[in-house]
Structure 1
Amino acid sequence: MTDATQPSVPVATVRALLVRQFPQWAHLPVTAGPSAGAGNALFRLGDDLVVRLPLHPGSAAAVALELTWLPRLAPRLPLAIPIPVAAGVPDETFPWPWAAFRWLPGTSVDTFQDIDHRDVAERLGQFVAALRNTDVTGAPASLRPHPLEGDDSEVRSDIRMLDAAGRSSISTCWEWATRPSTWCRRGHC
């Protein structure tokens, strides 16, 4: 979600970047993204791609890391993650590096009425376990100013609500996932 202090990026900016840097995609339809976060503006590009434009210098710094590390992590993880297909560069139209990724189709888990919460928790746990067990030798330190531990009050509140409804057993998984690990001690979170 965006707020009044966050810059907005018009579709015309994406179109101009494509014309200059990736003319092979300039004919594809560009639509404002399915969601907007605090770090990136998202735009669908045709049926198979998504363009992510960083909205501040911190998100811009992550682009190079994503271009390098997402392809390395993807084959080691049990769930699909965005795979970059193109790296855009700053120009007079847009001040920061940006990227295009393969579109991952799906919907938000909160749109389903009947969902197997145990299955969701197990898949998430498998993903976290695979990520934590991935060799990250040579990876740069995280761009996050602090680890997730201590920045999870909303997640903990959601877990308590699910526990109270008898639909969750993920408290232990969350504790394990946020516990400092070898990964964290090497400065990667």
Structure 2
Amino acid sequence: MPVVQSSIQRRPLHRRALDVQVFARDDGLFDVEASLIDTKTHDVPLAGQTRNAGDPIHEMHLQLTVDAQLTITAATSDTRWMPYSGACDEHGDAYSQLVGLNLLKGFRQAVTERLGGTRGCTHLTELCNILPTAVIQAMAGSVIDTREGDLAAGTPPFQLDRCHALRRDGATVATFYPRWHLVTPEPASTAS
């Protein structure tokens, strides 16, 4: 569905499909499989050849293993379709540098520092940026406590104050997380 309704005819040009799947392993760890696939609806000249409509321009995969605290214990990448064969796939296993990073703690900044620019592949590095929220979503309510937070430490559930709907002074938190709701004082009126 188009974002803005229009009577102007449209035709599809390009599709980027992102997919993230998370699997619980029998050893208590979790496998994360993420992919980015770009396709065109028309033939395009690319690196001295023609890439046919529907054939991927990019097909790239990241595979991670994370523990219950969301620390990456293993990471690798695979580039199956690329514009410049023999160049795009020369980054080796640069994405093994994700090992040791935690998806909840400074992950995106660390990815940029380790793999940004010419240190990695633009598309794989962009794919990394969707991993924290996707993996959190996979683990919310089962591995990650999304209801109580840490009562003893006075720490609310991690998702509060991370989006407009879950503002601690908002109606959603007042309704579904009343323990963590913050009442904001009314501004003082100024009398003339």
Q: TM-score range by the shorter chain?
A: under 0.3
**How high is the TM-score relative to the length of structure 2?**
0.26
Structure whose CA Rg is larger: 2
Which structure is higher in strand share?
2
Structure number with greater CO (CA < 8 Å, separation at least 6) is: 1
Which structure is higher in helix share?
1
**How high is the TM-score relative to the length of structure 1?**
0.27
